[in-house]
């Protein structure tokens, strides 16, 4: 078990478009990395984590709305194929600790990806799982939750976050 360092929203890796994971790259080393991502997510009581949050610019995410060990969904190269409806809820992020904002996202999504066994899959989800999937896919696209709020709110979050980081 390894707990990886969480990168904050100011780190360059958080703003890069992550590279696709080739099937050949889903090997024992990748399984260990994903296991460390899962341990890190649980350690920080998160419901999702993306590879850039732990310093790797690859298209890998883990989601776990129940927060129960064993319920994790590991996805490589996830892409949203379809989305419907909208819902606004408060979101936070392991990379922006202590800050939340009301974020509007699709209520229902269909996501295509590869799993840890290199199988293609589609996930149709709604509600909380759909929100987590969208949030984590944003990370591998170089976006953060506050990119989906007004410029004024975004500026306020960034200003206050930078101030909080300076104090530590």
Kindly give the residue spans of alpha helices, DSSP state H, lying in the chain: 28-43, 128-140, 151-167
* Helix (H/G/I), strand (E/B), else coil: 113: strand
Place of tokens 């500026």: 155
| Active site annotation includes 68 | no
Strand-pairing partners, residue 62, are 49, 74
Distances from the Cα of 89 to the Cα of 10, 64, 144, 146, angstroms: 23, 18, 15, 12
Catalytic residue among 11, 31, 126, 136: 136
Q: Are 73 and 137 in contact (CB under 8 A)?
A: no
- Which helix (DSSP H) or strand (DSSP E) does residue 130 occupy? helix 128-140
Reference 86, options 48, 138, 127; nearest CA is: 127
| Residue 121 backbone dihedrals phi, psi, to 5 degrees | -145, 160
Enzyme catalytic residues: 136
């Amino acid at each position: 078990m390894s707990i990886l360092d969480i990168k904050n929203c100011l780190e360059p890796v958080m703003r890069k478009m992550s590279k696709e994971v080739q099937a050949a790259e889903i090997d024992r080393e990748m399984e260990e990395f994903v296991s460390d991502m899962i341990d890190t997510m649980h350690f920080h009581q998160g419901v999702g984590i993306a590879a850039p949050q732990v310093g790797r610019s690859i298209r890998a995410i883990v989601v776990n709305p129940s927060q129960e060990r064993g319920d994790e969904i590991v996805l490589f190269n996830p892409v949203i194929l379809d989305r419907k409806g909208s819902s606004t809820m408060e979101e936070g992020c392991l990379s922006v600790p202590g800050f939340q904002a009301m974020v509007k996202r699709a209520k229902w999504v269909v996501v295509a990806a590869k799993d840890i066994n290199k199988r293609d899959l589609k996930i149709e989800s709604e509600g909380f799982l759909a929100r987590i999937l969208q949030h984590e896919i944003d990370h591998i696209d170089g976006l953060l939750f506050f990119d989906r709020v007004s410029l004024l709110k975004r500026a306020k979050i960034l200003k206050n976050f930078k101030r909080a980081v300076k104090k530590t």
